[in-house]
Amino acid sequence: MKIGVLKTDDVRPQLVGEFGEYPDMFAALLQREEPSLEFVTYEVQHGHYPADIDEVDAYLITGSKTGVYDDKPWIAPLMDFVRELRRREKPTLGICFGHQLIAHALGGETRKSEKGWGIGVHSYEVQETPVWMVEPQENFSLLVSHQDQVMALPPDTRVIASSDFCPFAMLQVGEHMLTMQAHPEFTKTYSHSLMELRREAFGEEMLEKGKDSLQNDIHASAVARWMLAFLRR
């Protein structure tokens, strides 16, 4: 299977040498489960798209520090591309910004949450168990870094997992789009480094709470298997 990564941001320069770019993180996550996977990166933040929507088997939209509502010239074309992916029923994953953008583009709403920043390890309760959820769990935990959230759902959307902090944490739109607010591709080491770089934005109390949460287990491998099972249906 060949996955097209729609890259919507760059890793901070101070962290690239150790952690790579976002497509590298997703390749590391998913190829641990399926080494034969191929990846193609499209720099959609710079207007680069596939010449043919079918030149890959599935798409994955990355996270970004940009808000889906920001006035940047590359966001509207990406929303149009998402609508075409929906129309063509192309298997698509959306992570963090990708999750928010898919919801926003298809008739939902994303905005800054009054609950503020979510950082570190967050836990979610599974609301329903679709057929693609191999090795189903009642709850799971992943790393997060966000203050925007999906606030209203687009049509034909099921809530797969939620938390008190993030009610729309994992969504299935139709039969071909799976999105999540958390970052299964993040490692704890990367999350710690990112939190340190954003120290001023978080404040000391929130930062220490986020760093302390890194002691908790995460379920990135299980979620990676769900992602692949979803794409392969």
Is 183 part of the annotated catalytic residue set?
Answer: yes
Residue among 33, 96, 192, 204 flagged as catalytic: 96
Residue among 99, 104, 122, 185 flagged as catalytic: 185
Is 166 part of the annotated catalytic residue set?
Answer: no
- Lookup: tokens for 50: 């596939």
Residue 201 in this model has a pLDDT that exceeds 90: no
What pLDDT digit, counting tens, does each position of 172-193 carry? 999 999 999 999 999 999 999 9
Is 219 part of the annotated catalytic residue set?
Answer: no
In this prediction, residue 156 has a pLDDT band, given cuts at 50, 70 and 90, of very high
The whole-number pLDDT of residue 114 equals 95
The whole-number pLDDT of residue 200 equals 87
Q: Which helix (H) or strand (E) holds 159?
A: strand 157-162
Residue among 146, 183, 196, 219 flagged as catalytic: 183
Axis crossing angle, helix 22-31 with helix 220-231, rounded to the nearest 10: 90
Planar angle of CA 187, 201, 220, nearest 5 degrees: 15
CB atoms within 10 A of CB 7: 22
Task: List domains and CATH numbers for the chain.
Answer: 2-115+125-138+150-186+219-231 (3.40.50.880)
Cα gap 224→210, rounded to integer Å: 23
- Lookup: tokens for 233: 């249906």
Please list the residues that pair with 177 across neighbouring strands.
92, 173
Q: Which helix (H) or strand (E) holds 75?
A: helix 75-87
Question: By three-state DSSP, how is residue 116 classified?
Answer: coil
Cα gap 206→179, rounded to integer Å: 26
Residue 162 in this model has a pLDDT that exceeds 90: yes
